[in-house]
Chains A and B, each alone.
Chain A
Amino acid sequence: MSDLISNDLNMIFKSPNGGVVHALKDIKFTLKKGQLLTVLGPSGCGKTTLLNIIAGFIRPTSGQITLNGNEINGPGVERGMVFQQGALFEWLTVNENVNFGLRMKKEDPVITAQKVEEWLNIVGLQGFGSTPTYQLSGGMQQRVALARCLINNPDLILMDEPLGALDALTREKMQHLILKIWNETGKTIILITHSVEEALLLGEKLYVMAPRPGRIHKEYNLPFASMGLKEDLRNIKNLKDFTSKREEILNMIWDMEEEIMGKDN
């Protein structure tokens, strides 16, 4: 049992002025080992809350979530996380950033150095080991963040809009890298995104979430991720199946947004 199982997860926030926000309502899903799940939804639908609960940064109000049969009740090494802005430690070099987790575990520095070298090769940063991270471009910083997370060999990788701040070209390269890593390591990945295209391209499984209360609105099983391993990503984007799905989801989100506006007015 190495699955991520969520059981009737509820998250209720109390706002300072006494109101109650139902951020997540009865979230129930199972993610098998090795699956790549993308989560899509309008802003405020609880995507990040869900991710934070899985990472263990916050506790759900009710319900429980288990990874490999163990209940999640705090952050842990088995769940790595990649943030939108990298969240790199800018006072450290690329090497030091990547080996941060191993250093905290006090592992043998020689073996660590080898591992760091390996991972820098995988993410395409060979030779940048001693560069300070503040000198790197946005895409490179995300590569470092990815390597830093993967070197710890987590069972589950959580990505919170990791490509949100990148330009289109870098974004495509990074999407490719994520697919490659997913394929080579066989890790379970949950990726949150704003981009419908990205969600379709990368997701083996795709949840569209709806706001107020945050819930899983629709679930898709998609073929594009496995296609993307062999084919060029741009060709996939032109497939008829892809474009129709994209339109469908866009309309869905559009409707949700309109509904929110209606509720507000």
Chain B
Amino acid sequence: MFTRILTFLIIVAIIGCVMYGRKIIKTEKVNAVFGNPERAKGGTHWIIVGSSFILLTWIYYSWDIAKSFYPQSANELCQVGKINDSLLALKYLFPIEERESKTASIIKIENKNLDKFAFEVKNSNKISDQNKIFLLGLIEKTKKIIPLLTNESLLDNQTKIKISELTSRIDQLSKEFQKNDYPYETIDQKNKRLKEAQEEGEWGASGSAIENTVEIPNIPKTDKGLKFHTAAKDLQIISDEFFKLNNHNFQYKSAVQVINDEIKKFENEINTDQEITSTFVKDILQIIARIDYASIFPPNSLKDFEESIINFEKVQKNEQGSLIWIDIFLFPAGTIVSSGLSCSEQGTGRWLPKLSDTFYNFILLLKPSVGYKGIPLLWYEMMDASKIVGFILPDWIADIIPGKYPVYNENGTVEPNFKSKTLAVVSGQFSLFKIPIPMGHIWDSFLRVFLGLVLGIIFGVPLGLFMGLNRFAKGFFDPLIELYRPVPPLAWAPLIISVLGIDNLGKIFLLFMVSFSIMIISARAGASGTQLSKIHASHSLGASNWQILRYVIFPNSLPEILTGVRVSIGMCWGTLVAAEFLAGTTGIGFVENVAKKYFQYEVIWISIFLMGVLGLIFDVTLRKIIDKTIPWRGKG
């Protein structure tokens, strides 16, 4: 429903905006000459067309349009897929969808292989003459068994009868298939089937769990689907029966027996170069096995059978009716394929999640009770304020109180004293009022970036200013920073994560390293870029060194510092997501990494989208801050 309305709106928007755009072009009297940047200004309607186009491409290639307009089509196509799956082996046998029949290609390849062996044996100087004669004889005999299979007159009568029986069964199926009430299901059967189908669920993500893996319902929901489903079952039986017939007539069997006997006899003799000869023997035996397995029949014996398969294909395609057109137009770049027991999307629909599914999954992820891996995306939890008190007050306050911590007494209990009570307070083991604290994957990622960045600013900016103004500081710290800065942050990640742990500490330190060097460089550039005349002026106005640093050099370097902050945020964000990929139990990068393991494409796309939006929010916020705090930038 959601997608249907959206599709309609998109098409209306595109048509409307294109018409509006054309109208504007026609009515605009003063059109600037080509090359004038004025020509590119405005054009909100083209923005709408552009974004509608992206959305349309998305819902089209994710097969969301098919899903919303023809919700049963996937289930029906699944049944069609079952027929294709059943006919697959038979179709390969005949050149129905291939250029060459399988039998022809096997005969060609094995004859070639035998010729190659014969050539190799003849020219080998490692094989004794006696063995050469033996091997060449073997090859010759093997070559002669193929005609035994393709000879029309040698074909068993029994096999002939069986083939014509299978042929008539397919013809019968074709006839039945065209009837409206095929496969003559009773009402009870129908009710049972529909109930089962209902239980199996609908196409796409379910509304109750993210880990739902049933993509396409397998049980036929419609009468049309049932037709294909039943026919596929029958065809599977016919196909299996056919491949059991292998045209092994008496002459063929005895010829193979002769070869086997000869080999056995050879193996009992002791030969000097047995090893190399027996390798050839093994290869020849493999060829015989392949010929044995391949269903090789005389060229004209299967003509009727092939024709009835082709006929069934025609009937089947006819019966699909409008489904073929839905498949072609609404399932672009792929289709629904059945293999074994289940059907799956193969093509863009597989990795491009449907807009509606993604939307439902996103809503589900947002629910604090569901979340991802037990942690909500963004929610709050009630935390006792005493934890904050315990965090702020250091524990050694209790240690310095005179006296000793209580020990157990004769009653087998421990009586608290003043010292232990103080310890409980300073370590936060008491209850105060509760306050809400944000939590969840998004909050964790945000907090890591924020803390890494703030630490980087707190340490980086003063050191950077100092380095910009002082020769000692520059010389002393420069080697250290220049040594670690060019290393990609992710190269540090394995080391830092293994030393500081996979939890917050390691990631915050990694991000601190990223922002620290950027902040140092930008603050340094800001400090050393201060105009000398401003420094001179402030000296003449009686400012002390500290005052010059605080009131002149610092504000003067603010534009550089804030640009540095902006760069840092981008770098930190990128590094964080990758670090969360490596290890961790929370964060958006973690969500994506886990979703990858379970092929939850919807979740992968949601996390990609969230990362983009959060990055954008960071950047826009910072741009606002920059505009507010340094309006003089570029105007001084």
**Chain A interfacial positions (CB closer than 8 Å to B):** 52, 55-57, 75-77, 79-81, 83-85, 87, 89-91, 100-101, 104-105, 132-134, 145, 148-149, 152, 154
Which residues does chain A contribute within 8 Å of B534, judged by CB atoms? Answer: 87, 89
Across the A-B interface, the 4 shortest Cβ-Cβ residue pairs: A75-B539, A101-B541, A77-B542, A87-B533
Pair A57/B536 contact, Cβ less than 8 Å: yes
Q: How far is the CB of A257 from chain B (nearest CB, A)?
A: 26
Beyond A52-B536, A90-B636, A104-B547, 18 additional contacts (C-beta under 8 Å) are A55-B536, A55-B540, A75-B540, A76-B542, A77-B540, A79-B540, A81-B536, A89-B552, A91-B555, A100-B541, A101-B542, A104-B542, A104-B544, A133-B632, A134-B631, A134-B635, A145-B537, A149-B540
**Per a CB cutoff under 8 Å, which of B537, B547, B558 touches A83?**
B537
Interface membership of chain B positions 614-636, coded 1 if the CB is closer than 8 angstroms to chain A and 0 otherwise = 00000000000000001110011
Q: Tell me, in angstroms, the Cα distance from A148 to B538 when the chains sit together.
A: 10
- Report the minimal beta-carbon distance from B563 to chain A, rounded to whole angstroms: 15
- A104→B543 contact, CB < 8 A: yes
Contacts of B635 in A (CB 8 A): 90, 134
CB nearest neighbor in B for A134: B635
- Min distance, Cβ B628 to any Cβ of chain A, angstroms: 12
Complex alpha-carbon distance, A101 and B544, angstroms? 11
Nearest B residue (CB) for A96: B551
Q: B157 within 8 Å of A by Cβ? A: no
- Bound state CA distance, A80 and B531, in angstroms? 18
Expressed in whole angstroms, the minimum distance between the Cβ of A1 and any Cβ of chain B is: 22
Q: Which A residues are in CB contact (< 8 Å) with B544?
A: 104
Is B335 in the interface zone, CB < 8 Å from A? no
Interface string of B555-581 (1 = CB under 8 A from A): 110100000000000000000000000
Q: B538: which A residues are within 8 A, CB to CB?
A: 89, 100, 104
List the A side residues contacting B531 at CB < 8 Å: 87
B533, B542, B555: residue with the most chain A Cβ atoms closer than 10 Å: B542
In whole angstroms, what is the CA distance A89 to B556 when docked?
A: 8
Instruction: Verify B536–A132 contact, CB threshold 8 A.
Output: no
Q: A52's closest neighbor in chain B, by CB?
A: B536
Contacts of A91 in B (CB 8 A): 555-556, 558, 630, 632
A85 touching B552, Cβ below 8 Å? no
Between A and B, 29 residue pairs with Cβ closer than 8 Å are A55-B536, A57-B536, A57-B539, A75-B539, A75-B540, A77-B542, A79-B540, A81-B537, A81-B540, A83-B533, A83-B536, A87-B531, A87-B533, A87-B536, A89-B538, A89-B552, A90-B632, A90-B635, A90-B636, A91-B630, A100-B551, A101-B541, A101-B543, A104-B542, A105-B542, A132-B632, A134-B631, A148-B537, A149-B541
Complex alpha-carbon distance, A242 and B63, angstroms: 91
CA A7 to CA B534, docked complex, whole Å: 29
Task: With CB as the reference atom, state the residue of chain A lying closest to B631.
Answer: A132
- With the chains together, A242 CA to B543 CA distance in Å? 42
CA A56 to CA B547, docked complex, whole Å: 18
B427 to chain A, nearest CB (A): 44
Among B537, B547, B558, chain A packs the most CB atoms within 10 A around the CB of B537
Task: Report yes or no: A89 in contact with B555, Cβ–Cβ below 8 A.
Answer: yes
Bound: A148/B635 CA distance, A: 20
Q: Which residue of A lies closest to B533 (CB)?
A: A87
Q: Shortest Cβ distance from A141 into chain B, in angstroms? A: 11
Residue ID in chain A nearest B555 by CB atoms: A91
Q: Contacts A89-B534, A104-B551 hold; do A152 and B541 have CB atoms under 8 A apart?
A: yes
CA distance A92 to B626 in the complex (A): 16
Q: Chain A residues near B542 (CB, 8 Å)? A: 76-77, 101, 104-105, 152
Shortest CB-to-CB span from A142 to chain B, Å, is 13
CA gap between A101 and B533 in the complex, in Å? 15
State A57–B533 Cα separation when bound (angstroms). 10
For A76, list chain B residues within 8 Å (CB). 540, 542
- C-alpha gap A65/B405 in the complex (Å): 73
What residues of B have a CB within 8 angstroms of the CB of A101 in the complex?
A: 541-543
Residues of A within 8 A of B543 (CB): 100-101, 104
Closest CB of chain B to A59's CB: distance in Å? 14
CB contacts (< 8 Å) of A75 on chain B: these are: 536, 539-540
Task: State the CA gap A80–B536 with chains docked (Å).
Answer: 10
Set of chain A residues within 8 Å of B555, measured between Cβ atoms:
89, 91
Contact check, B537 vs A87: say whether CB atoms are below 8 A apart: yes
Min CB–CB distance A75 → chain B (angstroms): 4
CA distance A138 to B534 in the complex (A): 16
B536 A85 Cβ-Cβ under 8 A: no
Give Cα distance in the complex from A55 to B547, angstroms.
19
What's the nearest-Cβ distance from chain B to residue A77, in Å? 4
Please tell me if the beta carbons of B558 and A77 are within 8 angstroms of each other in the complex: no
* CA A47 to CA B630, docked complex, whole Å: 36
The residue in chain A whose Cβ has the minimal distance to the Cβ of B629 is: A91
